[in-house]
Chain A
Amino acid sequence: MANYFNTLPLREQLAELAKCRFMNSSEFADGVEALKGKKMVVIGCGAQGLNQGLNLRDSGLDVSYALRPEAIAQKRQSWKNATENGFVVGTYEELIPTADVVLNLTPDKQHTAVVKAVMPLMKEGACLSYSHGFNIVEEGMKIRDDLTVIMVAPKCPGSEVRAEYVRGFGVPTLIAVHEDNDPKGEGLALAKAYAVGTGGHKAGVLMSSFIAEVKSDLMGEQTILCGMLQTGSILCFDKMVEEGIDPGYASRLIQYGWETITEALKYGGVTNMLDRLSNPAKIKAFDLSEELKVIMRPLYNKHQDDIIDGTFSRVMMEDWANDDANLLKWRAETAETNFEKTPAGDVEISEQEFFDNGILMVAMVKAGVELAFETMTAAGIVAESAYYESLHETPLIANTIARKKLYEMNATISDTAEYGCYLYNHACVPLLADFMKGIKTDVIGKGLSVEDTGVDNKRLIEVNTALRSHPVEAVGAVLRGHMADMKKIV
């Protein structure tokens, strides 16, 4: 199989990358009608599989689960998830032939094997859906001509997909139809009904393409979302300890700091996150982030280039073929970092203190978000897509670090994201070595001293203007408007 994107002429590549439109809520007036009475069979009952299935069923749709025989025989977690929630569970042979829609919600790495196994069992003219386009775009999986292929990708972890639905809301969702597989022209109607069934239409739906989804999703997860937080955690921790700060304090400041500062990001973008700092600290964070952006821009460009031209997925798939040698090695190395091994100390850190003593962390988040957004949009990805794949998801990932540090983050995210995260981290830590030499505890660990409190009005105005006029802020304000009343995460 060849990389699908690379088989397209440049003109189509550009058109696909640029495909992204924020849909109007009136476009969902038909609700779940297009899926009513149809049999939806989900393969895999993990994070996405279970939670999407619960939502779809509660929206009045017919959902059952096809699991691999081992999972059923050994009563694995996936089997328990499905049966305890009262779903019908069966083998591929039992369920796939009856399915009108097959929802492939297995890990991306398994897609080729899974799709090869189920495709022959699928009935003529049925629909195959994904929640991530890797298999189609990067692996070039060819789907039978009579089948419709769609994607409905919630831009949140599975637990969130369910929790928001139960509240009467949903999570932002990206939908797409694979143009090569839309024989009956019903792909869009099915994808829309599916998005309604998961509640996604209430939070905002982007009509995009498989290609735009994959190329932006990969970029976001390996740079700002996971890579930057991992690199930042390791560098900030080691610096603080080197400067004599209590390791327990340093560990807590980082573990819970990302969550606290990105909470401000979630409510009011980069501007609000920096507005939480005092004026002198804000200017400091701004200057640091400008410096970071200059140093890291080539790395962001390289990641985006490798993603676009398929180098990234090729190298990663080589590692898959090599029994995950690199992935496992990096995973072990991450577990051995000092940050990971030092438990958070039993000290009280107030909400504001996370900002005041974490100026460098704020600068890193700002630099990462803006760089990822700028790089994606420069590669032809539309701003809305770039926003969801950078700023929007950062707080969600930061929450996982608060739960159980880098281990939890890497366990929660997909294999693809984990691989990309290590890749980024490996390049970024040495890249920032010189920069880190100049860093002292005033920007990480202790906060600015009283003597540093003066600010130049002119400079402050410049900084505020620069913050507010960054393009990620404009699109963010609009998209956040659609998610008006977001849950306050305590």
Chain B
Amino acid sequence: MGSIIRLENLCVNFDDRFNLHNIEWTIEPNQHWVITGTNGAGKSALAAVLAGVGDIENGTVTGLPNNVGLVSFEAQAELIAKELKKDDADIMDVISLGTPVYEMIFDNCQDPELAHSLVEKFGLSKLLDRAFRKLSTGETRKVMLIRALSSKPDLLILDEPFDGLDVDTLAMLQAHLASIIETTPMVMVLNRFDEMPDFISHVAYVDQGKLTLTVDKKDDNAFNELYQLLHLKTTDLSVPEADPANKLPALDPSQPLVKLNQATIKYGDTVIVDKLDWTIQQGQHWQLSGPNGSGKTCVLSLITGDHPQCYTNDIFVFGFQRGNGESIWQIKQFIGYVSTALQWEYRVSTSCKNVIISGFYDSIGMYTKSTDNQKKIADQWLALLGMKDRADQPFNKLSYGDQRLLLIARAMVKHPPLLILDEPCLGLDDMNRQLVLALIEKICQGSETTVLYVNHHAEDKIEGIENYLGLKKN
């Protein structure tokens, strides 16, 4: 097999319609890749770059072989367009029949024997004399596949090769591809993970024109997470409804959710928070930022009621002026809360499903019997997260990132008026960050919850959050 293919800091422009940005990618001999991502993410573009498509604006591609076989919708469309143009260009009074299929396949064919057997297997024998342009889309696609496979390519690029194939043909094609893996490196674009052939060794994930993740298929964890990410990004499922039986008391829409008046926290002589005024109106998303030690978590715990000094401050939350005989559970019912600290505290040996249900009770662990409807809603959340099959697994055996996803679901399960995400991506690797952000986006789209997003860096913004409070270290 050939040499290493390297894309370094590559920026490519596709007729100003689409751009790939800063691609860093190495394909070693013996590797077979799948490129995946959501619609419009740039999967096909990245694949096409390997076949020389697009204008390179920056960076380099090295190690590309000369003979690259490409099957894609774009290439197919181009070929058909070319055929139709030929028509136009023909001498006016001779009616052209267009190029017949056998010519399309056997002219310049490197491996006629293989081409013959594939024609047979794809069921094209009867169509060999037909004009290429007269074929159906599925049939032209098969012709493209045969052309590419019998051209003895040094690199084979297949963009959605299985699309529209019937079951038998699909199995045949898969078997054929499996038989050439020793000689032909492949890069496929696939939307669906379940179509991924066994011989695939690596997966690339593309998002908004960037190659954001590459995963070695042998790494089960990473592979599962990528699966989940794609699921979250592409699923039609939306955020499950709240439970009508757990209806929260109605809030007065003219009142703010939270109003801190000159809030101050101090330990002895050390002042952590100094006379902070802050009002959060309903539907007003906020971002709270500040360096470590600036008192972010303290401010939050004044809102949630976890800070003992909330009783010595002037705090109005969810219709309660604090310190007038309300219980913290009356406050907490209006809040969904996720933080790293919560994850540390959540050390109970309970099932994933119960963790979600515990959100109805604002408890860590479950101490009450759950209702059938709560279980149903928890199942819907698990389906949304792509974790249906893990409902009964112990929570503490999950990866750190999956735990975080479940805790976000737990926080959202009751559709709280206020969702507090305290550094939701802290301690997560890139993949899990993307998973968490995908979930947060999904939540922001599909509910009336006001989001309070807390993070370290003011630059890390979430779309749709328009209000900003920055704390400084005292």
Q: Which residues of A contact B (CB under 8 A)?
A: 32, 36-37, 54, 57-62, 84-87, 166-169, 202-203, 484-488, 490
Q: Are B308 and A168 in contact (CB under 8 A)?
A: no
Q: Are B325 and A60 in contact (CB under 8 A)?
A: yes
Q: Are A488 and B396 in contact (CB under 8 A)?
A: yes
**Known contacts A485-B367, A487-B347, A490-B347; A86/B327 CB under 8 A:** no
Q: Are A168 and B267 in contact (CB under 8 A)?
A: no
Residues on A with beta carbons closer than 8 Å to the beta carbon of B364: 166-169
**Known contacts A60-B325, A84-B267, A85-B309; A168/B363 CB under 8 A:** yes
Provide the bound-state CA to CA distance between A36 and B327, in Å: 11
CB proximity to A under 8 Å, residues B219-277:
267-268
Residues on B with beta carbons closer than 8 Å to the beta carbon of A37: 325
> What residue in chain A is nearest B324 (Cβ atoms)?
A60
**Known contacts A86-B308, A488-B347; A36/B325 CB under 8 A:** yes
Q: Are A485 and B308 in contact (CB under 8 A)?
A: no
Interchain Cβ contacts under 8 Å between A and B, 5 examples: A36-B325, A62-B325, A84-B267, A166-B306, A487-B348
Residues on B with beta carbons closer than 8 Å to the beta carbon of A202: 367
Residues on B with beta carbons closer than 8 Å to the beta carbon of A86: 308-312
Residues on B with beta carbons closer than 8 Å to the beta carbon of A61: 325
B361 within 8 A of A: yes
Q: Are A485 and B327 in contact (CB under 8 A)?
A: no
B423 within 8 A of A: no
Q: Which 3 A-B pairs have the closest CB atoms?
A: A168-B363, A85-B308, A167-B364
> What residue in chain A is nearest B265 (Cβ atoms)?
A86
> What residue in chain A is nearest B345 (Cβ atoms)?
A167
Provide the bound-state CA to CA distance between A57 and B308, in Å: 9
> What residue in chain A is nearest B347 (Cβ atoms)?
A488
Q: Are A484 and B311 in contact (CB under 8 A)?
A: no
> What residue in chain A is nearest B349 (Cβ atoms)?
A488
The smallest C-beta distance from B211 to any residue of chain A, in angstroms, reads: 39
B154 within 8 A of A: no
Q: Are A485 and B267 in contact (CB under 8 A)?
A: no
Provide the bound-state CA to CA distance between A59 and B323, in Å: 11
B328 within 8 A of A: yes
Query: Beta-carbon contacts of B301-335 to A below 8 Å, as 1s and 0s?
Result: 00001101111100000000000011111100000
CB proximity to A under 8 Å, residues B2-47:
none
- How many of B's residues come within 8 Å of A, CB to CB? 30
The smallest C-beta distance from B325 to any residue of chain A, in angstroms, reads: 5
Provide the bound-state CA to CA distance between A169 and B312, in Å: 25
Provide the bound-state CA to CA distance between A61 and B312, in Å: 15
Q: Which residues of B contact A (CB under 8 A)?
A: 267-268, 305-306, 308-312, 325-330, 345, 347-350, 354, 358, 361-367, 396
Q: Are B325 and A487 in contact (CB under 8 A)?
A: no
Provide the bound-state CA to CA distance between A203 and B366, in Å: 12
Provide the bound-state CA to CA distance between A54 and B364, in Å: 18
Point out which of A36, A54, A167 has the most chain B C-beta atoms below 10 A from its C-beta. A167
Q: Are B267 and A167 in contact (CB under 8 A)?
A: no
Kindly list 8 other residue pairs between chains A and B, CB separation below 8 angstroms, not including A87-B311, A487-B347, A487-B365: A37-B325, A85-B308, A167-B363, A167-B365, A168-B329, A168-B361, A485-B348, A488-B349
Residues on A with beta carbons closer than 8 Å to the beta carbon of B367: 168-169, 202-203, 484-485
The smallest C-beta distance from A232 to any residue of chain B, in angstroms, reads: 28
Residues on B with beta carbons closer than 8 Å to the beta carbon of A167: 345, 363-365
Q: Are B366 and A484 in contact (CB under 8 A)?
A: yes
Residues on A with beta carbons closer than 8 Å to the beta carbon of B311: 57, 86-87
Residues on A with beta carbons closer than 8 Å to the beta carbon of B267: 84
Provide the bound-state CA to CA distance between A54 and B309, in Å: 11
The smallest C-beta distance from B470 to any residue of chain A, in angstroms, reads: 26
Residues on A with beta carbons closer than 8 Å to the beta carbon of B350: 485
Provide the bound-state CA to CA distance between A84 and B268, in Å: 7
Q: Are A58 and B327 in contact (CB under 8 A)?
A: yes
Provide the bound-state CA to CA distance between A488 and B344, in Å: 12
Residues on A with beta carbons closer than 8 Å to the beta carbon of B345: 167
> What residue in chain A is nearest B312 (Cβ atoms)?
A86
Q: Are B328 and A58 in contact (CB under 8 A)?
A: yes
- With beta carbons under 8 angstroms apart, the residue of B306, B309, B326, B361 that contacts A60 is B326
**Known contacts A37-B325, A485-B367; A168/B362 CB under 8 A:** yes
Provide the bound-state CA to CA distance between A198 and B399, in Å: 34
Provide the bound-state CA to CA distance between A32 and B362, in Å: 19
Residues on B with beta carbons closer than 8 Å to the beta carbon of A54: 308
Provide the bound-state CA to CA distance between A245 and B33, in Å: 57
> What residue in chain B is nearest A62 (Cβ atoms)?
B325
> What residue in chain B is nearest A168 (Cβ atoms)?
B363
Provide the bound-state CA to CA distance between A54 and B310, in Å: 12
Residues on B with beta carbons closer than 8 Å to the beta carbon of A59: 327-328
Point out which of B309, B358, B363 has the most chain A C-beta atoms below 10 A from its C-beta. B363
The smallest C-beta distance from B261 to any residue of chain A, in angstroms, reads: 16
The smallest C-beta distance from A65 to any residue of chain B, in angstroms, reads: 13
Q: Are A84 and B396 in contact (CB under 8 A)?
A: no
The smallest C-beta distance from A85 to any residue of chain B, in angstroms, reads: 4
Residues on B with beta carbons closer than 8 Å to the beta carbon of A85: 308-309
Provide the bound-state CA to CA distance between A169 and B366, in Å: 9
- With beta carbons under 8 angstroms apart, the residue of A84, A484, A487 that contacts B308 is A84
Q: Are A169 and B363 in contact (CB under 8 A)?
A: yes
